[in-house]
Amino acid sequence: MSTAESKRTDSKTEIGSYFISNYPPYSQWNRDALSEVERALHSPPQVSTPLGLYLHIPFCRKRCKFCYFKVFTDVKAAEVQRYVDALCEEISMVSRLEVMGERPFRFVYFGGGTPSFLSPKQLTALADRLHQHITWDGAEEVTFECEPGTLSETKVKTLREQLGVTRLSLGVENFSDQLLEENGRAHLSKQVFAAWDWIRAAGFANVNIDLISGMVGESWDNWKDNIRQTIDMSPDSVTIYQMELPFNTVYSADILGNKIATPVADWPTKRAWVDYAFTELEQAGYSVSSAYTMVKDAQKVNFSYRDNLWQGADLLATGIASFGHVSGIHYQNLAELDKYYEAVEGGKLPLGRGLVPTEHQLLVREMILLLKRGYLDASYFRDKFDVDVLQRWADVWAGHVKDELVVIDGDQVRLTREGLMRADSLLPAFFEPEHQGVRYT
């Protein structure tokens, strides 16, 4: 499914990428831009631009059937150690780049894969080695993704005390053991509850629970039970993704290879489930933070990684296949493990491909990503880009208003609840003509 096709309103969940996280589309990135990426990395930054760090840990106990990330399973301890050593060496090189300037890290994100796959000993060693080159002591947010079955009381304490993690994101996805097993998740519900006790006892400032609307086998009864149990746990925030089927998942390969019908719920059903969840969470005191996230206390919970990145912050990417953004230029690290090792162990940054956006493309990127929060202020874009986005895309906005997906009041743009439920499908209409109808990833 192309991004242009994602605008359609028919119900079937087709093969292809739906979730939009950047612009121009990743399929347009290439190696030709690497010289410009190198130039940006070795040039002083704009001092006022916030700086973030992403660290990719590509290991998992199992590969979920809906997963499309670069992950490895069934790895031995020596393989994990080699990767951790390479990651630390890469960060050592990154720490010496001119683009760092004198800026502190405003946000740090450990993603994967499963960062919590690492043992407490490995995490402590990683923290010790990283702190030889960089510090994030003053960061607003240090986020760490966790798979419940990989956690222990010791590991949770290590994350809090050794790595200085401020925000944990727990990949629950569903509370039904039957559904978890069907969809290839490595954990079961009892491990969620055990992990939750350790997390709460450790006193993290912000704990998020991830759920997925539309997992194979999901039903209304199951979904309502998921939301009830989530509300009972009372996390600081709840993030709900609608399941899609990118090309490189187990489910997608099965559908394409065996010509079977998609096992994933249709879009109207998934949106109805998210709408139900948002309504129930609102009644429990939560408020909308984006098209995917509800927060319990908006004064306490912010999303530094999301909000800074969506407003053009620099993000230094480390680890295999990770995505970065510096001085207005996009880049991605090498996506093949042997090539990643060859580069890093040879003393070179493992750069794989990049793209140099135009000023207009940076405007589009920022506008569509910020719209995913559920609102926009047109004056922000006039001040930053000297463009009236309401005039520039008047026809697109008029169509969304007509379809009752958007409400516009002066400079204020706000998605209706229906618009919020289908936020990603609204965004390709703002793409440049050459990027409409192309494969996104």
pLDDT score of 117 more than 50? yes
Using CA atoms in the order 438, 311, 411, 384, what is the torsion angle rounded to 10 degrees? -100
Give, for 179, the enclosing helix (H) or strand (E).
Answer: helix 177-182
**Strand segments (E) across 260-385:** 287-288, 293-295, 314-318, 323-326, 329-333, 351-355, 375-377
pLDDT score of 9 more than 60? no
The model's confidence at residue 7, banded by pLDDT at 50, 70 and 90, is very low
pLDDT score of 336 more than 60? yes
Which strands form 375-377's sheet, in the order they lie side by side?
375-377, 412-415, 406-409
Q: What per-residue confidence (pLDDT) applies to 8? A: 41
β-strand partners of 116: none
Q: What per-residue confidence (pLDDT) applies to 85? A: 95
**Which of 347, 346, 364, 354 has the alpha carbon at shortest distance from 323?**
354
Alpha carbon distance 205, 218 (integer Å): 31
Q: Region 382-403: what's the mean pLDDT?
A: 98
Alpha carbon distance 83, 240 (integer Å): 31
Please state which CATH number belongs to domain 25-308: 3.80.30.20
Cα-based distances in Å from 334 to 70, 319, 354: 11, 9, 11
DSSP state of 435: G
pLDDT score of 6 more than 60? no
Residues 6+ apart with CB under 8 A from 116: 144, 145, 146, 147, 150, 151, 155, 159
78: left (phi over 0), alpha (psi -120 to 50) or beta: alpha
CATH tag for 359-441 (out of 2.40.260.10, 3.30.1540.10, 1.10.10.10, 1.10.10.920): 1.10.10.920
The model's confidence at residue 11, banded by pLDDT at 50, 70 and 90, is confident
Residues across the chain: 441
pLDDT score of 182 more than 50? yes
Q: What per-residue confidence (pLDDT) applies to 1? A: 34
Q: What per-residue confidence (pLDDT) applies to 411? A: 98
Same CATH fold assignment for domains 25-308 and 359-441: no
**Where in the chain are the domains?**
25-308, 359-441
Q: 41, 49 in Cβ contact below 8 A?
A: no
pLDDT score of 259 more than 80? no
pLDDT score of 423 more than 60? yes
Q: What per-residue confidence (pLDDT) applies to 426? A: 97
Helix, strand, coil share (%) of the chain residues, nearest 5: 45, 20, 40
Global confidence as pTM: 0.94
pLDDT tens by residue, 130-178:
899 999 988 999 999 999 999 999 999 999 999 999 999 999 999 999 9
pLDDT tens by residue, 76-95:
999 999 999 999 999 999 99
pLDDT tens by residue, 316-329:
999 999 999 999 99
Q: 28, 292 in Cβ contact below 8 A?
A: no
Alpha carbon distance 335, 347 (integer Å): 17
pLDDT score of 440 more than 70? yes
Q: What per-residue confidence (pLDDT) applies to 319? A: 97
pLDDT score of 4 more than 70? no
DSSP state of 55: E
Give, for 141, the enclosing helix (H) or strand (E).
Answer: strand 141-146
